[in-house]
Structure 1
């Protein structure tokens, strides 16, 4: 929930977001309680798994950086651990790139 609020940021009054929050609030007491808590946290690093159509699942580390000169913009860097299956899959993708 805190990540959703963090991602919403300045767009918290967006009509699509408001509709989503309204629908989830109607369906879940837990969601209503958590959303009402106004906890805000942004995820700045972690690990994600992406399903790539050509090489299958990629497990990647991510780092997120704010761009001070461009408010609201972020730079997200994904990387694979050296010698991992994901690293090899990225290498194969790079070799076949047009």
Structure 2
């Protein structure tokens, strides 16, 4: 009885984690708010510990939308939560 219960738990747990990662696009990261040198977004988050997405290390996240009041946080270490969108630039490099 105990053996079958343990096997069932081990089989169910990876499925549950896989389902969560496939549908959940909200992430929380810690980094330093900086003004972007160029690009469509004027603000970004420098990640001291790069984020790995689809096997690609990402050290810069652009902040999109209306970042009202973000200039008060420039050059400060913050924790941010948001939706991650991944694309590629003209050279094929991953952009988040």
* Common topology (TM > 0.5): no
Q: Which one scores higher on RCO, CA 8 angstroms, separation ≥ 6?
A: 2
TM-score category, normalised to shorter length: under 0.3
More strand by share: 2
Higher helix share: 1
TM-score (norm 2): 0.23
